Amino acid sequence: MPELPEVEVVRRGLEKEIKATPFLLKFEFRRKDLRHPIPQEKLNQLHGQKIISVERRAKFLLFRLGSAGFISHLGMTGTWRVLENADEAQIGKHDHILIYLGKQSQDLEPKVLVYRDPRRFGIFDFWEGNVKNLPWGVDLAPEPLTDEFNEEYLFKQTRKSSRPIKSFIMDQAFVVGVGNIYASESLFLAGIRPTRRTRSLSQAECKMLTRKIKSVLEKAIAAGGSSISDFKTFYGTPGEFHLQHFVYGREGQACRKCNTVIKVKSLAGRSTFWCSRCQN
Protein backbone atom coordinates (compact mmCIF):
# COMPACT_ATOMS: atom_id res chain seq x y z
CA MET A 1 0.00 0.00 0.00
CA PRO A 2 1.35 3.47 -0.85
CA GLU A 3 2.46 5.34 2.26
CA LEU A 4 2.71 9.09 2.88
CA PRO A 5 5.79 9.69 0.65
CA GLU A 6 4.27 7.81 -2.28
CA VAL A 7 0.98 9.70 -1.98
CA GLU A 8 2.84 13.00 -1.75
CA VAL A 9 4.82 12.14 -4.90
CA VAL A 10 1.53 11.46 -6.72
CA ARG A 11 0.05 14.70 -5.36
CA ARG A 12 2.92 16.74 -6.76
CA GLY A 13 2.53 15.15 -10.18
CA LEU A 14 -1.21 15.82 -10.20
CA GLU A 15 -0.66 19.39 -9.04
CA LYS A 16 1.75 20.08 -11.90
CA GLU A 17 -0.61 18.76 -14.57
CA ILE A 18 -3.70 20.44 -13.12
CA LYS A 19 -1.94 23.79 -12.82
CA ALA A 20 -1.43 23.76 -16.61
CA THR A 21 -5.03 22.66 -17.35
CA PRO A 22 -7.08 23.61 -14.28
CA PHE A 23 -10.68 23.33 -15.54
CA LEU A 24 -12.59 20.14 -14.78
CA LEU A 25 -14.52 19.56 -17.99
CA LYS A 26 -16.17 16.30 -16.96
CA PHE A 27 -15.85 12.98 -15.16
CA GLU A 28 -16.23 9.66 -16.93
CA PHE A 29 -17.00 6.76 -14.61
CA ARG A 30 -16.49 3.27 -16.01
CA ARG A 31 -17.94 1.56 -12.96
CA LYS A 32 -20.30 2.56 -10.15
CA ASP A 33 -18.03 1.78 -7.23
CA LEU A 34 -14.56 1.11 -5.90
CA ARG A 35 -14.37 0.10 -2.24
CA HIS A 36 -17.59 2.09 -1.82
CA PRO A 37 -20.20 3.49 -4.22
CA ILE A 38 -19.11 6.58 -6.18
CA PRO A 39 -21.61 9.50 -5.80
CA GLN A 40 -21.66 10.28 -9.51
CA GLU A 41 -24.52 12.79 -9.48
CA LYS A 42 -22.90 14.96 -6.81
CA LEU A 43 -19.51 14.79 -8.50
CA ASN A 44 -20.96 15.70 -11.89
CA GLN A 45 -22.14 18.99 -10.35
CA LEU A 46 -18.49 20.05 -10.37
CA HIS A 47 -18.26 20.00 -14.17
CA GLY A 48 -16.89 23.23 -15.64
CA GLN A 49 -15.32 24.45 -12.42
CA LYS A 50 -11.67 25.31 -11.86
CA ILE A 51 -9.51 23.08 -9.67
CA ILE A 52 -7.77 25.50 -7.32
CA SER A 53 -5.38 23.11 -5.61
CA VAL A 54 -4.43 19.50 -4.95
CA GLU A 55 -3.76 18.91 -1.27
CA ARG A 56 -2.96 15.90 0.89
CA ARG A 57 -4.22 14.92 4.32
CA ALA A 58 -2.73 11.65 5.57
CA LYS A 59 -3.10 9.36 2.53
CA PHE A 60 -6.05 11.27 1.04
CA LEU A 61 -5.64 13.40 -2.07
CA LEU A 62 -7.90 16.45 -1.85
CA PHE A 63 -8.95 18.26 -5.02
CA ARG A 64 -10.30 21.69 -4.07
CA LEU A 65 -12.76 23.55 -6.31
CA GLY A 66 -13.95 26.67 -4.52
CA SER A 67 -15.95 25.63 -1.46
CA ALA A 68 -16.16 21.96 -2.44
CA GLY A 69 -14.25 19.31 -4.35
CA PHE A 70 -13.49 15.61 -4.43
CA ILE A 71 -11.13 13.19 -2.73
CA SER A 72 -9.13 10.17 -3.81
CA HIS A 73 -7.55 7.44 -1.70
CA LEU A 74 -5.30 5.01 -3.59
CA GLY A 75 -6.08 2.00 -1.41
CA MET A 76 -3.75 -0.92 -2.18
CA THR A 77 -3.19 -0.60 -5.93
CA GLY A 78 -4.61 2.74 -7.08
CA THR A 79 -2.58 4.93 -9.44
CA TRP A 80 -3.09 8.15 -11.39
CA ARG A 81 -1.56 8.92 -14.76
CA VAL A 82 -2.06 11.55 -17.46
CA LEU A 83 -2.94 11.14 -21.15
CA GLU A 84 -2.71 13.97 -23.63
CA ASN A 85 -5.96 12.86 -25.25
CA ALA A 86 -8.75 10.35 -24.73
CA ASP A 87 -7.27 7.61 -26.88
CA GLU A 88 -9.38 4.52 -26.19
CA ALA A 89 -6.44 2.28 -27.10
CA GLN A 90 -4.63 3.57 -24.00
CA ILE A 91 -7.50 2.82 -21.61
CA GLY A 92 -7.40 -0.58 -19.89
CA LYS A 93 -9.98 -2.68 -18.08
CA HIS A 94 -8.75 -1.51 -14.67
CA ASP A 95 -9.02 2.18 -15.59
CA HIS A 96 -12.18 3.12 -13.70
CA ILE A 97 -12.27 6.93 -13.60
CA LEU A 98 -11.33 9.49 -16.24
CA ILE A 99 -11.13 13.21 -15.50
CA TYR A 100 -11.09 15.50 -18.52
CA LEU A 101 -9.14 18.74 -17.96
CA GLY A 102 -8.79 21.87 -20.04
CA LYS A 103 -7.10 25.27 -20.01
CA GLN A 104 -10.55 26.83 -20.12
CA SER A 105 -14.04 25.60 -19.31
CA GLN A 106 -14.92 24.91 -22.97
CA ASP A 107 -11.63 23.39 -24.09
CA LEU A 108 -11.97 21.21 -27.20
CA GLU A 109 -8.66 19.34 -26.74
CA PRO A 110 -8.80 18.00 -23.20
CA LYS A 111 -6.08 16.31 -21.21
CA VAL A 112 -7.22 13.19 -19.31
CA LEU A 113 -6.32 12.04 -15.80
CA VAL A 114 -6.85 8.29 -15.50
CA TYR A 115 -7.38 6.40 -12.25
CA ARG A 116 -6.42 2.72 -12.37
CA ASP A 117 -7.17 0.33 -9.51
CA PRO A 118 -7.00 -3.45 -10.18
CA ARG A 119 -8.08 -4.46 -6.67
CA ARG A 120 -10.58 -1.59 -6.28
CA PHE A 121 -9.69 -0.83 -2.64
CA GLY A 122 -9.45 2.88 -3.37
CA ILE A 123 -11.96 5.61 -2.52
CA PHE A 124 -13.34 8.34 -4.79
CA ASP A 125 -15.88 10.67 -3.23
CA PHE A 126 -17.41 14.13 -3.15
CA TRP A 127 -15.81 16.46 -0.57
CA GLU A 128 -17.42 19.41 1.15
CA GLY A 129 -14.09 21.24 1.29
CA ASN A 130 -13.32 21.13 5.02
CA VAL A 131 -10.00 19.41 5.78
CA LYS A 132 -11.22 18.64 9.29
CA ASN A 133 -14.33 16.93 7.97
CA LEU A 134 -13.27 14.34 5.40
CA PRO A 135 -15.95 11.77 4.61
CA TRP A 136 -13.54 8.91 5.29
CA GLY A 137 -10.94 10.67 7.43
CA VAL A 138 -12.66 10.62 10.84
CA ASP A 139 -10.48 12.38 13.44
CA LEU A 140 -7.03 12.40 11.90
CA ALA A 141 -3.94 12.91 14.02
CA PRO A 142 -1.13 15.42 13.29
CA GLU A 143 0.84 15.27 10.06
CA PRO A 144 4.40 14.06 10.76
CA LEU A 145 6.02 16.82 8.69
CA THR A 146 4.35 19.65 10.62
CA ASP A 147 5.52 21.45 13.76
CA GLU A 148 2.57 19.94 15.63
CA PHE A 149 4.35 16.57 15.56
CA ASN A 150 7.32 17.15 17.88
CA GLU A 151 9.13 15.59 20.81
CA GLU A 152 6.73 17.04 23.41
CA TYR A 153 3.72 15.67 21.57
CA LEU A 154 5.25 12.20 21.09
CA PHE A 155 6.53 12.00 24.67
CA LYS A 156 3.12 12.97 26.05
CA GLN A 157 1.33 10.43 23.86
CA THR A 158 3.72 7.59 24.72
CA ARG A 159 2.96 7.99 28.44
CA LYS A 160 -0.57 6.76 27.70
CA SER A 161 0.33 3.42 26.12
CA SER A 162 2.35 0.26 26.70
CA ARG A 163 2.14 -0.93 23.08
CA PRO A 164 5.25 -1.70 21.02
CA ILE A 165 6.58 1.60 19.68
CA LYS A 166 6.40 0.48 16.04
CA SER A 167 2.69 -0.30 16.30
CA PHE A 168 2.17 3.00 18.09
CA ILE A 169 3.74 5.25 15.45
CA MET A 170 1.83 3.41 12.71
CA ASP A 171 -1.49 4.17 14.43
CA GLN A 172 -3.30 6.94 12.50
CA ALA A 173 -4.88 8.07 15.79
CA PHE A 174 -1.50 9.39 16.96
CA VAL A 175 0.32 10.40 13.77
CA VAL A 176 -0.77 9.94 10.15
CA GLY A 177 1.06 8.44 7.22
CA VAL A 178 3.90 6.57 8.95
CA GLY A 179 3.43 3.13 7.42
CA ASN A 180 5.37 -0.09 7.76
CA ILE A 181 8.35 0.89 5.60
CA TYR A 182 9.01 4.26 7.18
CA ALA A 183 8.31 3.13 10.74
CA SER A 184 10.98 0.43 10.38
CA GLU A 185 13.50 2.81 8.82
CA SER A 186 12.89 5.60 11.34
CA LEU A 187 13.25 3.31 14.34
CA PHE A 188 16.51 1.94 12.97
CA LEU A 189 17.99 5.41 12.51
CA ALA A 190 16.79 6.41 15.97
CA GLY A 191 18.43 3.30 17.48
CA ILE A 192 15.15 2.09 19.00
CA ARG A 193 14.05 -1.54 18.81
CA PRO A 194 10.53 -1.82 17.33
CA THR A 195 9.30 -4.03 20.17
CA ARG A 196 10.16 -1.46 22.87
CA ARG A 197 7.17 -0.44 24.96
CA THR A 198 6.15 3.14 24.35
CA ARG A 199 6.31 4.15 28.01
CA SER A 200 9.95 3.06 28.18
CA LEU A 201 11.06 5.79 25.76
CA SER A 202 12.79 8.78 27.30
CA GLN A 203 12.13 12.33 26.16
CA ALA A 204 15.52 12.33 24.44
CA GLU A 205 14.55 9.20 22.51
CA CYS A 206 11.24 10.80 21.52
CA LYS A 207 13.15 13.82 20.24
CA MET A 208 15.43 11.59 18.17
CA LEU A 209 12.52 9.54 16.83
CA THR A 210 10.50 12.57 15.69
CA ARG A 211 13.59 13.93 13.94
CA LYS A 212 14.23 10.63 12.16
CA ILE A 213 10.60 10.19 11.10
CA LYS A 214 10.63 13.64 9.50
CA SER A 215 14.03 13.05 7.89
CA VAL A 216 13.13 9.63 6.47
CA LEU A 217 9.83 10.88 5.02
CA GLU A 218 11.46 13.92 3.43
CA LYS A 219 14.22 11.81 1.86
CA ALA A 220 11.68 9.28 0.60
CA ILE A 221 9.62 12.03 -1.05
CA ALA A 222 12.73 13.45 -2.69
CA ALA A 223 13.60 9.97 -4.04
CA GLY A 224 10.11 9.42 -5.48
CA GLY A 225 9.00 6.97 -2.79
CA SER A 226 9.76 3.26 -2.42
CA SER A 227 8.94 0.90 -5.29
CA ILE A 228 9.02 -2.44 -3.50
CA SER A 229 6.08 -3.99 -5.35
CA ASP A 230 4.13 -2.20 -8.08
CA PHE A 231 4.28 1.45 -6.98
CA LYS A 232 5.25 3.92 -9.68
CA THR A 233 5.29 7.69 -9.66
CA PHE A 234 2.64 9.75 -11.46
CA TYR A 235 4.78 9.63 -14.61
CA GLY A 236 5.22 5.85 -14.54
CA THR A 237 8.76 5.74 -13.18
CA PRO A 238 9.71 3.72 -10.07
CA GLY A 239 10.62 5.45 -6.84
CA GLU A 240 14.19 4.93 -5.69
CA PHE A 241 14.09 5.22 -1.90
CA HIS A 242 14.00 1.43 -1.49
CA LEU A 243 17.63 1.50 -2.64
CA GLN A 244 18.43 3.42 0.55
CA HIS A 245 16.60 1.13 2.99
CA PHE A 246 18.67 0.15 6.02
CA VAL A 247 16.38 -2.61 7.33
CA TYR A 248 13.04 -2.86 5.53
CA GLY A 249 12.97 -5.86 3.21
CA ARG A 250 16.59 -6.74 4.07
CA GLU A 251 16.06 -9.76 6.36
CA GLY A 252 19.07 -12.08 6.37
CA GLN A 253 21.34 -9.40 4.92
CA ALA A 254 24.14 -7.60 6.73
CA CYS A 255 23.35 -4.36 8.52
CA ARG A 256 24.78 -1.44 6.57
CA LYS A 257 26.26 -0.03 9.80
CA CYS A 258 27.55 -3.00 11.82
CA ASN A 259 27.25 -6.12 9.58
CA THR A 260 24.88 -7.87 12.01
CA VAL A 261 22.25 -9.91 10.18
CA ILE A 262 18.94 -8.03 9.86
CA LYS A 263 16.07 -9.80 11.63
CA VAL A 264 12.38 -9.96 10.78
CA LYS A 265 9.29 -10.93 12.77
CA SER A 266 5.58 -10.33 12.63
CA LEU A 267 4.39 -7.56 14.93
CA ALA A 268 0.68 -6.75 14.99
CA GLY A 269 0.36 -8.63 11.72
CA ARG A 270 3.05 -6.64 9.91
CA SER A 271 6.57 -7.74 8.96
CA THR A 272 8.99 -5.87 11.18
CA PHE A 273 12.70 -5.48 10.42
CA TRP A 274 15.50 -4.45 12.77
CA CYS A 275 19.15 -4.81 13.71
CA SER A 276 19.63 -6.38 17.14
CA ARG A 277 22.92 -4.56 17.63
CA CYS A 278 22.08 -1.05 16.42
CA GLN A 279 18.63 -0.91 18.03
CA ASN A 280 18.03 -1.15 21.77
Q: How far apart are CA 250 and CA 64, in angstroms?
A: 40
Catalytic residue from among 3, 6, 185, 205: 3
Is 240 marked active-site? no
Catalytic residue from among 2, 144, 164, 194: 2
* C-alpha distances out from residue 124 to 27, 61, 83, 223, Å: 12, 10, 20, 27
Is 59 marked active-site? yes
Nearest CA-CA partner of 38 in 105, 152, 127, 169: 127
Q: How far apart are CA 72 and CA 87, in angstroms?
A: 23
Catalytic residue from among 11, 56, 59, 111: 59
Q: Which helix (H) or strand (E) holds 207?
A: helix 203-222
Q: How far apart are CA 218 and CA 200, in angstroms?
A: 27
What is the rounded (10 degree) CA torsion for 201, 273, 242, 119?
A: -110
Nearest CA-CA partner of 162 in 201, 130, 136: 201
Is 205 marked active-site? no
Is 2 marked active-site? yes
Neighbours of 278 (CB within 10 A): 19
Catalytic residue from among 12, 163, 232, 270: 270
Contacts of 213-217 spanning 24+ positions with Cβ under 8 A: 213/144, 213/149, 213/169, 213/175, 213/178, 213/182, 213/186, 214/144, 214/145, 214/149, 215/189, 216/182, 216/185, 216/186, 216/189, 217/4, 217/5, 217/144, 217/145, 217/177, 217/178, 217/182
By annotation, the residues acting in catalysis are: 2-3, 59, 270
